[in-house]
């Protein structure tokens, strides 16, 4: 069983908004697995979906290239925000993005072979930080659009059938803001729906109710859940009177797919408790 550290408890509290003892207990029960602890806390407390992991804190930036019906986004990571703003880092990002776009290469290992890897190694030596070309995302269709948030930490690509690049750009901006998981409810897998149903069924307000009432309540909440995570059902961020689906349909278009990247998502960054850091530093001086 993994030890439960103060940093883990802190992260779980940040993600759930629940008390320290509840979070500590849930982590112990889950063997230190934060995602399992969140699921159990949702069942026991009725809490809505947790925030994204606080440990996802890798730095770097995203950049996009669009031409005709082809669009690409690229993520390159650094260890600190300071380096991600350095002129040398920015020049390296442009160099890699230009090469990826010109060759339509989405395999990072192949892309970085040769000259680009040498450039990365030189940059690492110069800035003293690890630099990583992480991933490339692509959409290709009759109409494509992109949106890169002003801090370059979120980038989105959208592919449409019909419509205009301006419409695709508006939809991409919406996706950046509200982070849908699927294009439409019919794309949500049964596995996802079953997992959410189990969480809903285990919540406190379900206890003691007749099975038929429970099933009816689950059905209603699942429908709400599907609307919340599906792009076409979300109120459009620039005009909440319209859903994104209606906006696109009125323009004679259809959403084919989208790609949304956020810097550092899914990368674990080790966070130590401050007291642990001090203790380690003192021990190192002995």
CB 140 within 8 A of CB 168: no
pLDDT at 158: 98
pLDDT of residue 13: 80
- Using 70 as the pLDDT threshold, list the residues of the chain that sit under it: 1-2, 46-57, 268-286
The pLDDT of residue 127: 84
Domains of the chain: 1-55+273-286 (1.10.8.10), 59-182+254-262 (3.30.479.20)
Measured distance CA(63)–CA(153) in Å, rounded: 9
Angstrom distances, CA of residue 233 to CA of 156, 158, 176, 225, 241: 18, 16, 16, 10, 12
Taking alpha carbons only, the member of 179, 176, 140, 172 closest to residue 247 is 172
Q: What is the pLDDT at residue 125?
A: 81
Predicted confidence (pLDDT) per residue in 199-225, tens digit: 988 888 888 888 889 889 989 999 999
pLDDT computed for residue 273 by the predictor: 52
pLDDT of residue 282: 53
105: left (phi over 0), alpha (psi -120 to 50) or beta: beta
- Quick one: pLDDT at residue 276? 57
Residue 23, pLDDT score: 86
Per-residue pLDDT, 44: 78
Nearest CA among 32, 115, 56, 48 for reference residue 271: 56
């Amino acid at each position: 069983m993994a030890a439960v550290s103060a940093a883990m408890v802190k992260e779980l509290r940040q993600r759930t908004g629940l008390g320290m003892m509840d979070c500590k207990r849930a982590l112990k029960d889950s063997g230190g697995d934060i995602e399992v602890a969140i699921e159990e806390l949702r069942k026991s407390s009725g809490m809505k979906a947790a925030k994204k992991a606080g440990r996802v804190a890798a730095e770097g930036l995203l950049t996009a290239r669009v031409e005709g019906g082809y669009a690409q986004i690229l993520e390159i990571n650094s260890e600190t925000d300071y380096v991600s703003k350095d002129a040398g880092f920015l020049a390296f990002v442009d160099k890699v993005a230009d090469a990826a776009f010109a060759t339509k290469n989405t395999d990072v290992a192949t892309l970085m072979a040769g000259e680009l890897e040498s450039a990365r190694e030189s940059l690492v030596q110069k800035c003293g930080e690890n630099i990583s070309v992480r991933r490339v995302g692509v959409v290709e269709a009759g109409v494509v659009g992109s949106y890169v948030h002003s801090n370059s930490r979120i980038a989105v690509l959208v592919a449409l059938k019909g419509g205009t690049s301006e419409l695709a750009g508006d939809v991409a901006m919406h996706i950046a803001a509200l982070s849908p998981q699927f294009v439409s409810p019919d794309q949500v897998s049964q596995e996802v729906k079953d997992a959410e149903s189990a969480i809903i069924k285990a919540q406190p307000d379900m206890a003691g109710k007749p099975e038929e009432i429970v099933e009816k309540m689950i059905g209603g909440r699942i429908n709400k859940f599907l609307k919340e995570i599906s792009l076409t059902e979300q109120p459009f961020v620039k005009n909440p009177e319209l859903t994104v689906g209606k906006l696109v349909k009125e323009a004679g278009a259809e959403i084919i797919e989208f790609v949304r990247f956020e810097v550092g998502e899914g990368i674990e960054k080790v966070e130590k408790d401050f007291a642990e850091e001090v203790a380690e530093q003192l021990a190192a001086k002995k």
